[in-house]
Amino acid sequence: MSLTQADRTAVVAAVTAAETTTDAEIVPIVAAQSDAYHDAAVHWITIALFLIVAVTAFVPQPFLWLLDRAYGGWGDDWSMGALFSGLLLLLAVAYLVLHYATKPLAIRMALTPGATKTRRVRARAVLLFRTAIEARTATRTGVLLYVSLAERRAEIVTDAAVLAKVPATAWGEAMHALVDALKDGRTADAVVAAIGRIGTVLAEYFPYTGTDPNELPDQLIEL
């Protein structure tokens, strides 16, 4: 889903409003996806090719029939070389069919286990946090809200001071608000709602003092 300019404006306003109540800083990132999942396609293709070999070994008649038809139906007494050549050709055709069948991202996503998606989203969120946010504030109070649309998953990653002071369970309401709106396809509303909940948590543990400068930009980052 693409965000409109009105959506971006609403997210920026939510960040600005939340940061008026806390010395911590919030950075929202919305990504189209966290991984291409080509390895998932390779795994399933490999399994399919092994299955073709196994089925051919245990039930060779269909393969021999197919080989016979390919060579004009003469019913030859096939040599080992011809059998292996035929099997290799079958595997090559199967590979090409499966390779192109898994080209669409939606297919690869469907083939990828949920736990793998969760790990990839978490890894991408941590990488982005370390690259753009970690230790970028003097008080180590940066918070990343990362939303990955293709996987329909989100992560909250926090800097050292926040991690040490705020229990992980405190982010439950923010994640709940985010997921509820995402399920309805309301990406901007989801991010805005989550930022509001995050701001509430941060205001409790890091209330606004007016002495901590705004060191991270109040904007939505789209990847």
Alpha carbon of residue 79 to chain centroid: 49
74 pLDDT band (50/70/90 cuts)? low
- Residue-averaged pLDDT of the chain: 85
All structural domains of the chain with their residue ranges:
5-36+113-222, 38-110
Per-residue model confidence (pLDDT) at position 73: 56
pLDDT tens digits along 91-106: 888 899 999 999 999 9
Per-residue model confidence (pLDDT) at position 103: 92
How far is the C-alpha of 213 from the C-alpha of 198, rounded, in Å? 19
How far is the C-alpha of 193 from the C-alpha of 180, rounded, in Å? 10
How far is the C-alpha of 62 from the C-alpha of 164, rounded, in Å? 64
Tokens 């109040």 label which residue? 218
65 pLDDT band (50/70/90 cuts)? confident
Per-residue model confidence (pLDDT) at position 108: 92
66 pLDDT band (50/70/90 cuts)? confident
Tokens 């736990």 label which residue? 115
pLDDT tens digits along 166-194: 888 888 888 887 887 777 778 888 889 88
pLDDT at 145 > cutoff 90: yes
pLDDT at 126 > cutoff 90: yes
Q: Which residue has the higher pLDDT, 60 or 148?
A: 148
pLDDT at 204 > cutoff 80: yes
In contact, 26 and 15? CB cutoff 8 Å: yes
What the block records as the tokens of 140 is 């180590």
How far is the C-alpha of 85 from the C-alpha of 46, rounded, in Å? 19
CA angle 203/125/150 to nearest 5° reads 110
Q: Which helix (H) or strand (E) covers residue 182, if one does? A: helix 172-183
Q: Terminal CA-to-CA distance of the chain, rounded, Å?
A: 12
Strands 153-158 and 221-222: unpaired
The amino acid sitting at 9 is T
In contact, 214 and 19? CB cutoff 8 Å: yes
Per-residue model confidence (pLDDT) at position 79: 65
Q: Which residue has the higher pLDDT, 69 or 156?
A: 156
pLDDT at 1 > cutoff 60: no
Question: Which segments of 29-154 does DSSP mark as H helices, in order?
Answer: 38-58, 61-70, 80-101, 105-111, 114-132
pLDDT tens digits along 7-60: 889 889 999 998 888 888 899 999 999 999 999 999 999 999 999 888 888 887
Per-residue model confidence (pLDDT) at position 38: 92
Q: Which of 54, 4, 46 is nearest to 186 (CA)?
A: 4
Is domain 5-36+113-222 annotated with CATH 3.90.1150.10? no
Tokens 């090719």 label which residue? 49
**β-pair partners for 145:** 28, 156
How far is the C-alpha of 174 from the C-alpha of 121, rounded, in Å? 17
